[in-house]
Amino acid sequence: MVIFILGDRQNMSLLTPASEVIQRHLEHFIDRHVLLAGDIQDELGTILEAASVRVLTNQYHRWKNLQPALGENVLFASTATAEFVKPCDTLIYFWSKNKQEAAFQLDDLCTHLAVGSQIFIVGENRSGVKSAEAIMEGIATLQKIDSARRCGLYYGELEQPTEFDIKRWWRNYQVDNVKIHALPGVFSHNELDIGSDLLLSTLTEPMSGNVLDLACGNGVLAAVVGTQNPAVTLTLSDVSASAIDSATATLAANNLTGKIIPSDVYSDLDDKFDWIISNPPFHDGINTSYNAVETLIFQAPKYLKKGGRLRIVANAFLPYPDLLDKAFGGHVVLAKTGKFKVYEAIKR
């Protein structure tokens, strides 16, 4: 636990190792207009002492945590706006574990920053932050200026702004006759993953009513279900802005309609559903985390109608059977491979 004293109030904040490395260089930021972006995992943006601080986050739950303190100075979006970035002369970019997502985000940000802007890129070594030098070649010459907490911190100044065009970053593929669109960093970005394929193999029976695709990613599950069952009402939800944009594009490409809602699991959902389907993540950044899945399972009965079904796919080693039994009183395994299992639980 790190304790910061700001003015006459005490602010306690648990910082990530990457943010703790930034804390070792506070003198760089005192008179700068700072933009924090990338894999934001804590509330450094609310306590960093600078001329001004803005935060761009792709994660809805991070935005909800930061918005009360930062107001309009925090933006939830997959890409930046010129209006939001241009007042800033310093970028602190928290490296994404997904190299392509980092390249996508830096391409976007370096379009809006002015030549000479200071750029700090920080991340845990295991996340591949050393790739920053190659990705920024021709844009900014980076030098490693610190190494601590198993993290690297790189610094450079913007030499050649980029010319961001999001069309270059979209990836498209098909699942049978269903068109899938995805941005970097979204699960199953380039092709259908094995787990989702296994889950879809169990969704062949006629479906009706309200269907929620939770942690929807690029929207592949909802798009296939909606194409096969035109009468269903679709709701798609994810914590990622890039996933929200990808799912929106996927539904549009298949002439499907549905509600697409940014939500931290069920935080912004009010309806009750006949089906909840999901290939839920078990990572938060580069760290394993079961918090979201535990919430997904334990609160599912509250969001299901009587007789409603929760159907999820997961790595076989994950401890979900016990969670399902506690939440629903039982479950069945509908399909399995050596690596994955598809579970179903019904609200009685």
In terms of domains, do 280 and 331 share one? yes
CB atoms within 10 A of CB 130: 14
Measured CA to CA, the distance from residue 133 to residue 264 in angstroms comes to 33
CA angle 124, 183, 35 (to 5 degrees): 50
Taking all residues of the chain, what is their mean pLDDT, rounded to a whole number?
Answer: 93
What does DSSP assign to residue 116? Answer: T
In terms of domains, do 174 and 87 share one? no
Residue in 311, 294, 297 with CA at minimum distance from that of residue 211: 311
Among the three residues 158, 187, 219, which one is the final residue of a domain in this structure? Answer: 158
- Mean pLDDT lowest for which of 106-110, 278-282, 300-304, 328-332? 278-282
Number of H helices, E strands in the chain: 11, 20
Confidence check: pLDDT of 3 > 70? no
Confidence check: pLDDT of 289 > 80? no
* 119 in a structural domain: yes
Confidence check: pLDDT of 263 > 50? yes
pTM of the model: 0.93
Confidence check: pLDDT of 6 > 50? no
Over residues 100-116, the mean pLDDT reads 98
In terms of domains, do 211 and 288 share one? yes
In terms of domains, do 103 and 191 share one? no
Measured CA to CA, the distance from residue 100 to residue 80 in angstroms comes to 17
Measured CA to CA, the distance from residue 316 to residue 182 in angstroms comes to 26
Q: How many CA atoms lie within 13 A of 51 on its CB side?
A: 9
Write out the residue range of the structural domain in which residue 248 sits. Answer: 170-347
In terms of domains, do 108 and 218 share one? no
Confidence check: pLDDT of 46 > 50? yes
In terms of domains, do 152 and 225 share one? no
What are the DSSP calls for 62-103, one per residue? HHHHHHHHHGGGEEE-SS--HHHHTT-SEEEEEPPSSHHHHH
In terms of domains, do 41 and 135 share one? yes
pLDDT recorded at residue 326:
97
In terms of domains, do 233 and 331 share one? yes
Over residues 77-93, the mean pLDDT reads 98
129-185 pLDDT, tens per residue? 999 999 999 999 999 999 999 999 999 999 999 999 999 999 999 999 999 999 999
Confidence check: pLDDT of 217 > 60? yes
pLDDT recorded at residue 4:
31
Among the three residues 127, 158, 189, which one is the final residue of a domain in this structure? Answer: 158
pLDDT recorded at residue 225:
98
CB atoms within 10 A of CB 69: 15
Among the three residues 109, 125, 158, which one is the final residue of a domain in this structure? Answer: 158
Instruction: Return the CATH number at 262.
Output: 3.40.50.150
Confidence check: pLDDT of 291 > 90? no
- Sequence-distant (≥ 6) Cβ neighbours of residue 263 within 8 angstroms: 60, 237, 238, 239, 269
Total domains, the chain: 2
Over residues 5-10, the mean pLDDT reads 32
Confidence check: pLDDT of 13 > 60? no
pLDDT recorded at residue 2:
31
Confidence of residue 290 (pLDDT cuts 50, 70, 90): low
* 6 in a structural domain: no
In terms of domains, do 202 and 140 share one? no
In terms of domains, do 43 and 120 share one? yes
